[in-house]
Amino acid sequence: MALYDPLEWSIRGEGTSRFVARDDNHDIARALERFRAKCRFDPRTGCVVWTGGTTRGRGNTATYGSFWYDGRRWFAHRWAAAFIHGLDVDGLQVGHNCPFTADGHPNTLCVQHLAGQTQAENLAEAVERLGPPAHRQSRFKCEQAADTRQQWLFVEIGLL
């Protein structure tokens, strides 16, 4: 069962949203409408999913939702955390922990799946959920390296 629908996002909330505290509610209301148009509600999982543009940005290997607001590009999950859910994300990363996807962050925007975290907390959670990064998994173990070295010495050089 869904906790909320993107159509219910509003600038008039229970005081937790940054929309209520700002004087330029008209501009933010327009931004919210633009943002809402780039989302869809998944009734199967109860998640709000970003369907707008994506970017890898700033050296990331994963794609993240991309949203322009106030003259700069925001990752969609950070914008949702800050401006819709009212989370204080200054100086923190916004971690994804969606239990309905294999990678943990398809571009989910639900408040229950987003959390402000330090980089260490975010990385530890990702390793716990997904395992170590691929580049660490692809390294040889000592035994594998020894076997490969012996094969190379035998086949390529003819020493063994």
pLDDT tens-digit series, residues 50-59: 889 988 866 6
pLDDT tens-digit series, residues 39-78: 988 888 888 888 899 888 666 667 888 999 989 999 898 9
Residue 132 to residue 92: CA distance in whole angstroms: 22
Domain membership of residue 1 (yes or no) is no
> What predicted TM-score, i.e. pTM, was given to this entire model?
0.64
Give one word for 22, left, alpha or beta, with left for phi > 0 and alpha for psi -120 to 50: beta
Domain membership of residue 26 (yes or no) is yes
Domain membership of residue 152 (yes or no) is no
In this prediction, residue 11 carries a pLDDT of: 40
Domain membership of residue 57 (yes or no) is yes
Domain membership of residue 140 (yes or no) is no
Domain membership of residue 63 (yes or no) is yes
Domain membership of residue 86 (yes or no) is yes
pLDDT higher for 97 or 7?
97
In contact, 129 and 103? CB cutoff 8 Å? no
Cα separations in angstroms, 12 against 21, 28, 38, 89, 109: 10, 12, 20, 21, 19
Question: pLDDT band at 146, cuts 50/70/90?
Answer: low
In contact, 96 and 76? CB cutoff 8 Å? no
Do β-strands 64-69 and 54-55 pair in parallel, antiparallel, or remain unpaired?
antiparallel
Average pLDDT over residues 138-149: 61
Structure tokens at 107: 């571009």
Domain count across the chain: 1
Domain membership of residue 74 (yes or no) is yes
Domain holding 49, by residue range, is 6-117
